Amino acid sequence: MHPRRRQKLKVKRKANKIIGDTSRVITLLHLPDDRSRIPKIIQRIMSMSETATKNLITQIMTHFAGRHEDIGHIFERHLNEVKDYLPRDTMLSDVQRALLGAYFTKEYSIESAALFNPSIVPHPDQSHLKKGSLRFVMSLRATGEGHVSSIAFRSGVLDRHNAFLFDPVSDFV
């Protein structure tokens, strides 16, 4: 028996570059390391006038709403995380609730340090493609601030000429 001759694998580097986008951010609960500061933050916001509170939350909503699908819900969720620090029997207006939630929210850029280790698999939906094309899903390791890793995804089509055509990346993470 003769060993089979191995075919040489021809590899061609593509010009496509997958670059991290620092503007792709998620929200995280932000609590001060010194938890005794939480009631002080709450008191500072509760002592603001309704007009000042409205003006500030309007600025915050204008600035952040375009980067997060439901920022109001996120602020409410983060307010619920600190509700035990609220003075007993406190009645908060909707504007105060939103602003308190905003104060305990931070953004985290998931791709700010690196985007690497791509892994590609065929997409389950191969419909409506030109002959010889393959729709794919790509997972990548995204490393953000503080070198915390996340998984990011991209999708697209590999055409019959082996050219990668990437789908637009969502505005929301």
And the tokens for 146?
């503080």
Tokens at 123, concatenated:
């997409």
* pLDDT tens digit sequence for 42-87: 999 999 999 999 999 999 999 998 999 999 999 999 999 999 999 9
In this prediction, residue 9 carries a pLDDT of: 82
Share of the chain above pLDDT 70, in %: 98
Non-local (6+) Cβ contacts of 101 within 8 A are 74, 75, 76, 77, 78, 79
Residue 60's pLDDT is what? 97
> What phi, psi does 98 have (nearest 5°)?
-65, -45
* More confidently predicted of 13 and 86: 86
Query: What is the rounded distance in angstroms from the CA atom of residue 166 to the CA atom of residue 119?
Result: 14
The confidence band for 1, taking pLDDT boundaries of 50, 70 and 90, is: low
Does residue 46 contact residue 36 with C-beta atoms inside 8 Å?
no
Domain ranges of the chain: 31-103, 114-166
* 3 state SS of 161: coil
Is residue 134 classed exposed, middle or buried when 0-12, 13-18 and 19+ CB atoms within 10 A define those classes? middle
For the whole prediction, is pTM greater than 0.85?
Answer: no
